[in-house]
Copies of this chain bind each other. A is one copy, B any other.
Amino acid sequence: MILHDFLPSGNGYKIRLLLTLLGKPFDLVEYDITKGETRTPEFISRINANGKIPALELGDGHILTESNAILIHLAEGTPYLPADVWQRTEVMQWLFFEQYDHEPTIAVLRAWVAIKGMPEHADILVPMKQAGAKKALEFMEKRLSDHDWLVADGLSIADISLYAYTHVAEEGHIDLSVYPGIMAWMDRISALPGYIPITMKP
């Protein structure tokens, strides 16, 4: 398997972390998204028409895109995507929450502060993103203040997906110390056997 990726990407890290926990070896091909390397005609035509990493190229020619869709694909049949129909639906709910409420605020703030530089109209856009980030984190805290995991009683791809950008939220100047449930949950994840940090190459 070849993972087309950008090492600082939380969306890419989701896949790297799951593959590592599953014990599945993969190669990394890196693109610098700050230099438009996923927007080249070659990338668009061969890897992902939507011009984004991560994309997971399988040996049989299939190329999977959309980080959370890749998580579902890889986790099917493993404990990370429960077989129970209600738990599965809860996992899906968290995955869509991640892409709608969490990533566009928390990941984008980090990208602006720590990776790409601030955008035009930052004075207007940053407070909007900060308000959205706060709302998303409060919603997670509501669950994690009295549960160890987002779904049922074990690690699932919901945790992997939400962890990816939450654990680096402070790079976007978001203070996580006010969310004790989230802090304890992040400690549980980073203590997992087989855990790798976001900056570690396979």
A190 CB–B CB distance under 8 Å: no
| B96 x A50 contact (CB < 8 A) | no
1/0 per position for A94-107, CB-CB distance to B under 8 A? 01110111011000
Tell me the number of copies of this protein.
2
CA distance A121 to B139 in the complex (A): 27
Which B residues lie within 8 Å of A104 (CB)?
A: 100, 104
Which B residues lie within 8 Å of A64 (CB)?
A: 89, 93
| Cβ-defined partner of A76 (8 Å) among B85, B97, B99 | B85
Q: Which of A60-112 contact B (CB under 8 A)?
A: 62, 64-70, 72-73, 76, 85-86, 88-89, 92-93, 95-97, 99-101, 103-104
A124 CB–B CB distance under 8 Å: yes
Given A73-B89, A139-B49, A66 and B96 touching (CB < 8 A)? yes
| Cβ-defined partner of A89 (8 Å) among B69, B85, B121, B139 | B69
A142 CB–B CB distance under 8 Å: yes
Given A49-B142, A72-B89, A85-B76, A66 and B97 touching (CB < 8 A)? yes
Given A66-B92, A72-B89, A104-B104, A50 and B124 touching (CB < 8 A)? no
| Cβ-defined partner of A103 (8 Å) among B72, B76, B89, B100 | B100
Which B residues lie within 8 Å of A124 (CB)?
A: 121, 124
Which B residues lie within 8 Å of A103 (CB)?
A: 100
| A96 x B76 contact (CB < 8 A) | no
A82 CB, min distance to chain B CBs, angstroms? 13
Of A62, A85, A100, the most chain B CB neighbours within 10 A belong to: A100
What are 13 pairs between A and B in contact, CB < 8 Å?
A49-B142, A50-B97, A64-B93, A65-B93, A66-B93, A66-B97, A66-B100, A67-B96, A68-B92, A69-B93, A73-B88, A99-B99, A100-B100
Known: A72-B92, A104-B104. 6 other contacts (CB 8 A): A66-B96, A68-B92, A70-B89, A73-B92, A76-B85, A95-B96
